[in-house]
A = this chain, B = another copy of it.
Amino acid sequence: MTDFQDAKDKKPSVKARLPRGLADRGPAEIAATNRMTQAIRETYELYGFDAVETPFIEYTETLGKFLPDQDRPNEGVFSFQDDDDQWLSLRYDLTAPLARYVAENYDRIAKPYRSYRAGYVFRNEKPGPGRFRQFMQFDADTVGSASVAADAEICMMAADTLERLGVKRGEYVVKVNNRKVLDGVLEAAGLEGEGRAAQKLIVLRAIDKLDRLGTDGVRMLLGPGRKDESGDFTKGADLATSAIERILAFTDARGANNNETLAKLEAAVGASARGLEGVQELAEMAQLCDAGGYGDGRVVIDPAVVRGLEYYTGPVYEAELLFEAKDEHGRPMRFGSVGGGGRYDGLVARFRGEPVPATGFSIGVSRLLAALQAIKSPILDVDKLRGPVVVLVMDRDQIARYQGFVAQLRAAGVRAELYLGAAGMNAQLKYADRRNSPCAVIQGSNERDKGEVMIRDLALGAELAASTKDRADYLELRQRAQFAASEDRLVEAVKEVLGR
């Protein structure tokens, strides 16, 4: 047996359990995820993006998760040491591994390089409701293009993807902003310059919480800090009131249309050259999206979008669902952001020592899947998840014969299985019901002598069991729910039931 069994005296048996923040997935969820990712993949390929896959493990240094002053990895990543004592980590996102891949294969790759990848990422964080330590992301990135046409393309592709997945026009929006505009606003507020990086990150993360905390909550986070309901205190950015109001005015600058918004942003950045560059980039993106027909409210400039990651350097974008759904307690809820991204011109440069422009978009697969389930997206098409036809074993010595029935059904493309347990007929039928089987095939010695099989329609059978004998069609129903067929008509008879 396994290594552990030697320790029988220490612990008689091992408890079957998963560590917190991890989950198993059954056939329905796997099928739904596959259908969804397949649709995303097809959309991305239509746009010229190619699949690429990197391993789950990278050098911690590659991921940028090494704490240099302490000579060990950031606690938020799962890490272990190689046999030569180098630190390795499970990937934390799909962006850092892509940057490593591009840098490592730089001369082999035709650039601009459009690629996509779906896969699990890992966070060594305290798990909570809806917060997992392993979850799936679906990313698309364009590396090697400095043009905002690359950013605009990804925004339009995000819109196409959502519609392909069954989200109707008007039920989603792709919001666009630009980090350079925020930089301009901070500069105009006197907050730019070296040594401000930590403070800027606090500002970013504060604005990123606008949706959840509202303007007043964000105002506290931009100022001295904020105590939440649980009493936990989050330290703020400690900005002066004038700077805070300037930032809040910026996040509130969305106008009735893109031109109005652009005018407000131009005013907000004042004389900042960097800020004006950002406004110009936004104007270009808006123009490209308009030309593509996406200016109808599908892609919209919204200064409230900043994204929490510090590595973005230009355009940032976020795909948001607008419809309301009910949570598990029946309360109205919004799914909000199901994906986002932006331009990160510095990530590949870490390896190359020269700037390599890049922009990318990441979908949170499980949140988007939950949203598609809430709107009953036709793409999920869950009705097709039907169990196999079950051939019962009535006489043990006839197993080879029953197996022949199963083989005939499979050869005709019908999902079918032989009952392999040791239970009697009633338990076998119960098993077939639990398997969500459409019908059972039964042959006892009586049927065998006549060269027949009994076909039992399990859906009709359930209906029959729930109905009363007073129904006018009871007898007819009963006759259809279980009927005899000659052995050589087995496949035909089963297909008749499957077609009902």
The answer to whether A59 and B418 touch across the interface, beta carbons within 8 angstroms, is: no
Residue contact A17 to B104, C-beta cutoff 8 Å: yes
Stretch binding the partner chain, chosen from A47-55, A167-175, A186-194 = A47-55
State whether A30 and B13 are in contact (beta carbons under 8 Å apart), knowing that A346-B1, A403-B292 are contacts in the complex: no
Q: Within 8 Å of chain B (Cβ to Cβ): is A31?
A: yes
Query: Assuming the A-B contacts A24-B52, A64-B4, are A134 and B57 also in contact, with contact meaning beta carbons closer than 8 angstroms in the complex?
Result: yes
Tell whether, in the assembled complex, residue A55 and residue B287 are in contact, meaning their CB atoms are under 8 Å apart.
Answer: no
- Kindly state the separation between the CA atoms of A256 and B134 in the bound complex, as whole angstroms: 52
A96: shortest Cβ distance to chain B, in Å?
A: 8
Tell me the smallest distance from the CB of A443 to a CB of chain B, in Å: 15
Q: Are A149 and B418 in contact (CB under 8 A)?
A: yes
Shortest Cβ gap from A405 to chain B (Å): 11
**A138 contacts B by Cβ under 8 Å:** no
Given A114-B417, A403-B292, A410-B47, also A18-B434 (CB < 8 A): no
Q: Are A399 and B288 in contact (CB under 8 A)?
A: yes
Complex alpha-carbon distance, A52 and B28, angstroms: 9
User: Which residues does chain B contribute within 8 Å of A16, judged by CB atoms?
Assistant: 62, 99-101, 103-104, 351-352
- Given the contacts A48-B415, A418-B153, A291 and B61 also touching, CB distance less than 8 Å: no
Q: Within the assembled complex, what's the spacing in Å between the Cα atoms of A311 and B2? A: 7
Encode contact with B along A1-15: 1 for CB under 8 Å, 0 otherwise: 111111100101111
| A489 contacts chain B at the CB level, 8 A cutoff | no
Stretch from A65-73, A237-245, A453-461 forming part of the interface with B: A65-73
B55–A23 touching, CB < 8 Å: yes
Among the listed stretches A80-88, A203-211, A221-229, which one makes contact with chain B, having 4 or more residues with CB under 8 Å of it? Answer: A80-88
A105: chain B residues within 8 A (beta carbon): 24
Copy count, this protein chain: 2
Q: What is the bound-complex CA distance between A352 and B15, given in angstroms?
A: 8
Q: Which of B61, B149, B350 contacts A420 (CB 8 A)?
A: B149
Q: Is A335 an interface residue (CB 8 A)?
A: no
For A403, list chain B residues within 8 Å (CB).
Answer: 149, 153, 288, 291-292
Q: Check if A14 sits within 8 Å of B62, measured CB to CB.
A: yes
Contact A112 B350 (CB under 8 A): no
Instruction: Verify A48–B417 contact, CB threshold 8 A.
Output: yes
Query: Is A78's CB within 8 Å of the partner chain B?
Result: yes
Q: Which residues of A contact B (CB under 8 A)?
A: 1-7, 10, 12-19, 22-27, 30-31, 45-48, 50-59, 61-62, 64-69, 74, 78-80, 82-83, 86, 88, 90, 96, 99-101, 103-105, 110-112, 114, 120, 122, 124, 126, 133-134, 142, 144-147, 149-150, 153, 287-288, 291-293, 310-311, 346-347, 350-353, 387-388, 390, 399-401, 403-404, 407, 410, 413-422, 431, 434-435
Identify the 3 closest CB pairs spanning chains A and B, nearest first: A48-B417, A2-B64, A291-B400
23 A-B pairs (CB sep. < 8 Å):
A2-B347, A13-B352, A15-B351, A16-B99, A17-B100, A18-B58, A18-B59, A24-B101, A27-B51, A27-B52, A30-B52, A45-B415, A47-B416, A48-B390, A48-B415, A57-B122, A111-B421, A144-B421, A149-B418, A149-B420, A150-B420, A288-B400, A291-B401
